[in-house]
């Protein structure tokens, strides 16, 4: 007698991420978002408290505390050109934060943004004064040259990491020193402007062609009601920085590359068994980080100074580390952190001009933000882990 076999019941497919997320109550979601915002809020509060204590220790007067707060509020926000300064200053900081954040997402520490944007600015300056072409061609090529310079300088530590196991922190820091030496040599000899006027020759390139220069946003802002002076340091690179932050967010959250980047950074041991080629992702992350780093100083080179100088503004790369940490490696967070640091820079000028308190108080506040943000994020991480563990026990 033939016995018919019953078909084996197939297990139901596991719910996808979207379905699981849809089942989470809104109250729980809001509580989670509130905990995530707790770290930067606590850091800013601690920085403000320590700033007040420093003022009281140095000046021994509550009146000076009020003067500093008033100067930061009035000069930092309501001075005629404050908005333009804050947006202009935030532009390179956004690029620097994004460059660092991409490496952070892959579990890498790109400490070499400083050297990468120096070489990128040098490459952009060379294409800017050497090439003659229409604006539609010259300007994009100049920007691409800056990105290529950053990629070139990031490729060295990336290759050392992949093929020799060299730690990227050491190699990227060393590349910063090499970049400064390269700049000193080229701007003192091969790329030095030979047509300078005056008795003292500066270490700088020849002027960049007008077809490679980025226009100012001052006319646009003045057309909508602002009253910025013509030399206010805000250019259309600010719009490019915002676009870069949006593309970064979409790439990290909505693409396969972004998913693999996050997996590599979160659990490197699980990357290879999941089909992710770790070495290839490390190369891609470092090169992409270098490409964005190459944009950091371009506003100064082709938008404000219109040439590459040896005394170009430094420190963007290291500030970008703090901005990426404060912004939690998110596009929106990085933009907000860059605007905050830019505001503090502007406020320091107001403190120096309108009070007897040293303007270095804002530098202390920035340093405290950097120090406390790491501690605050660790505390928040532990709070979140405990909450999730408690909820798992309750469901069980």
**Owning domain of residue 350:** 38-78+330-366
* pLDDT top residue among 328 and 365: 328
Q: Is pLDDT above 90 for 278?
A: no
290 and 246 inside one domain? yes
What is the pLDDT averaged over residues 265-274? 78
HEC profile of the chain: CCCCCCCCCCCCCCCCHHHHHHHCCHHHHHHHHHHHHHHHHHHHHHHHHHHHHHHHHHHCCHHHHHHHHHHHHHHHHHCCCHHHHHHHHHHHHHHHHHHHHHHHHCCCCCCCHHHHHHHHHHHHHHHHHHCCCCHHHHHHHHHHHHHHHHHHHHHHHHHHHHHHCCCHHHHHHHHHHHHHHHHHHHHHCCCCCCCCCCCCCCCECCCCCHHHCCCECHHHHHHCCCCCCCCCCCECHHHHHHHHHHHHHHHHHHCHHHHHHHHHHHCHHHHCCCCCCHHHHHHHHHHHHHHHHCCCCHHHHHHHCCCCECCCCCCHHHHHHHHHHHCCCCHHHHHHHHHHHHHHHHHHHHHHHHCCCCCHHHHHHHHHHHHHHHHHHHHHHHHHHHHHHHHHHHHC
Q: Is residue 386 part of a domain?
A: no
pLDDT value for 396 = 66
239 and 337 inside one domain? no
338 and 190 inside one domain? no
The answer to whether 209 and 129 are in contact (CB under 8 A) is yes
52 and 179 inside one domain? no
Q: Is residue 74 part of a domain?
A: yes
Q: Read off the pLDDT band of 115 (50, 70, 90).
A: very high
Q: What pairs with residue 309 in β-bridges?
A: 204
d(CA 366, CA 46): 11
pLDDT value for 376 = 76
What is the pLDDT averaged over residues 114-132? 92
Choose the final residue of a domain: 329, 358, 377.
Answer: 329
Digit-coded pLDDT (tens) for 144-155: 999 999 999 999
156 and 178 inside one domain? yes
Digit-coded pLDDT (tens) for 251-267: 998 899 988 888 888 87
Q: Is pLDDT above 70 for 8?
A: no
198 and 242 inside one domain? yes
207 and 124 inside one domain? yes
HEC profile of 67-95: HHHHHHHHHHHHCCCHHHHHHHHHHHHHH
pTM of structure: 0.84
144 and 195 inside one domain? yes
> How far is residue 373 from each of residues 192, 337, 378, measured CA to CA in Å?
42, 12, 9
Q: Read off the pLDDT band of 14 (50, 70, 90).
A: very low
Q: Is pLDDT above 80 for 24?
A: no
- Give the best-scoring range by mean pLDDT among 37-41, 187-191, 201-205, 234-238: 234-238
For residues 100, 106, 107, 108, the Cα torsion angle rounded to the nearest 10 degrees is -50
Q: Is pLDDT above 70 for 274?
A: yes
pLDDT value for 386 = 81
297 and 335 inside one domain? no
What is the pLDDT averaged over residues 166-191? 91
Digit-coded pLDDT (tens) for 88-105: 999 999 999 999 999 999
Q: Is residue 343 part of a domain?
A: yes
100 and 129 inside one domain? yes
Q: Give the chain's domain count.
A: 2
Q: Is pLDDT above 50 for 289?
A: yes
Digit-coded pLDDT (tens) for 303-362: 988 888 887 777 898 889 989 988 888 899 899 999 988 988 888 888 877 787 777 777
Q: Is residue 1 part of a domain?
A: no
Q: Read off the pLDDT band of 27 (50, 70, 90).
A: low
Q: Is residue 199 part of a domain?
A: yes
pLDDT value for 360 = 76
Q: Is residue 387 part of a domain?
A: no
The answer to whether 133 and 144 are in contact (CB under 8 A) is no
What is the pLDDT averaged over residues 61-80? 81
pLDDT value for 288 = 95
The answer to whether 293 and 317 are in contact (CB under 8 A) is yes
170 and 123 inside one domain? yes
Q: Is residue 185 part of a domain?
A: yes
Q: Read off the pLDDT band of 19 (50, 70, 90).
A: very low
Q: Is residue 312 part of a domain?
A: yes
Choose the final residue of a domain: 301, 329, 357.
Answer: 329
Q: Which of 36-40, 99-103, 196-200, 322-326 has the lowest mean pLDDT?
A: 196-200
Q: Is pLDDT above 60 for 218?
A: yes
The answer to whether 322 and 111 are in contact (CB under 8 A) is no
Choose the final residue of a domain: 302, 329, 356.
Answer: 329
108 and 43 inside one domain? no
What is the distance of C-alpha 4 from the center of its chain?
A: 66
């Amino acid at each position: 007698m033939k016995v018919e076999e019953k078909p084996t019941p197939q297990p139901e497919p596991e719910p996808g991420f979207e379905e699981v997320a849809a089942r989470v109550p809104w109250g729980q979601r809001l509580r989670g978002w509130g905990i995530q915002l707790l770290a930067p809020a606590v850091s800013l509060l601690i920085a403000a408290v320590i700033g007040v204590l420093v003022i009281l220790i140095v000046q021994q007067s509550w009146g000076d505390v009020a003067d500093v707060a008033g100067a930061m509020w009035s000069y930092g926000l309501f001075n005629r050109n404050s908005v333009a300064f804050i947006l202009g200053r935030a532009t390179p900081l956004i690029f620097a934060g994004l460059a660092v954040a991409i490496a952070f997402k892959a579990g890498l520490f790109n400490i070499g943004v400083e050297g990468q944007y120096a070489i990128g600015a040098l490459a952009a300056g060379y294409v800017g004064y050497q090439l003659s072409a229409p604006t539609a061609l010259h300007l994009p090529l100049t920007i691409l040259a800056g990105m290529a310079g950053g990629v070139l300088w990031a490729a060295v530590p990336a290759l050392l990491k992949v093929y020799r196991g060299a730690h990227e922190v050491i190699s990227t820091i060393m590349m910063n020193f090499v970049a400064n030496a390269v700049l000193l040599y080229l701007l003192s000899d091969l790329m030095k402007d030979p047509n300078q006027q005056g008795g003292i020759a500066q270490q700088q390139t020849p002027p960049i062609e007008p077809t490679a220069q980025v226009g100012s946003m001052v006319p646009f802002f003045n057309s909508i009601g602002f009253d910025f002076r013509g030399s206010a340091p805000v250019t259309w690179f600010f719009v490019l920085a915002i676009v870069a932050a949006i593309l970064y967010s979409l790439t990290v959250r909505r693409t396969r590359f972004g998913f693999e980047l996050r997996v590599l950074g979160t659990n490197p041991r699980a990357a290879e068994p999941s089909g992710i080629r770790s070495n290839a992702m490390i190369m891609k992350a470092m090169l992409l980080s270098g490409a964005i780093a190459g944009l950091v100083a371009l506003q100064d080179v082709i938008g404000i100074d219109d040439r590459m100088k040896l005394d170009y503004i430094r420190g963007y790369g290291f500030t970008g580390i703090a901005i990426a940490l404060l912004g939690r490696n998110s596009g929106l967070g990085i933009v907000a952190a860059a605007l905050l640091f830019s505001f503090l820079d502007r406020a320091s000028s107001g403190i120096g001009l309108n009070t007897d308190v040293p303007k270095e108080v804002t530098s202390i506040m920035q340093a405290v933000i950097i120090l406390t943000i790491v501690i605050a994020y660790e505390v928040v991480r532990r709070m979140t882990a405990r909450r999730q563990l408690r909820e798992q026990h309750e469901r069980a």
